[in-house]
């Protein structure tokens, strides 16, 4: 699937990932390849990216290695839209 993480300042990630786990308003949930369309509010927590991720050097300090080999991006809230095998995270 394709993932884009967008902040008010810039696009911090755009690329292919295996799967994604996000802190939804009703708890953490995961999206796999070809997931059904969804729109959800996000709360404070980590966007966990599974798979090999190529992070641009200019934004590398915003990401951390998580447990289980994930690449994590911490957010304070936001929105996610999953449609046509593309997930867009609008993060605060």
d(CA 50, CA 71): 7
- The residue ranking higher by pLDDT, 92 or 82, is 82
Assign 61 to helix, strand or coil: helix
Q: What is the pLDDT of residue 91?
A: 96
User: Topology of 2-91 in CATH?
Assistant: ATP Synthase; domain 1 (2.60.15)
Q: What is the pLDDT of residue 67?
A: 84
**Is residue 75 pLDDT above 90, yes or no?**
yes
d(CA 90, CA 7): 6
- Per residue in 5-64, pLDDT (tens digit) is 999 999 999 999 999 999 999 999 999 999 999 999 999 999 999 998 999 999 999 999
């Amino acid at each position: 699937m394709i993932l884009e993480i967008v902040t008010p300042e810039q696009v911090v990630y755009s690329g292919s990932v295996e799967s994604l786990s996000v802190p939804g308003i009703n708890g953490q949930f995961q999206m796999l390849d070809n997931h059904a369309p969804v729109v959800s509010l996000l709360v404070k927590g980590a966007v966990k990216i599974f798979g090999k991720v190529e992070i641009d050097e200019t934004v590398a300090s915003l990401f951390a290695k998580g447990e289980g080999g994930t690449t994590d991006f911490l957010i304070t809230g936001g929105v996610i839209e999953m449609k046509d095998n593309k997930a867009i995270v609008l993060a605060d």
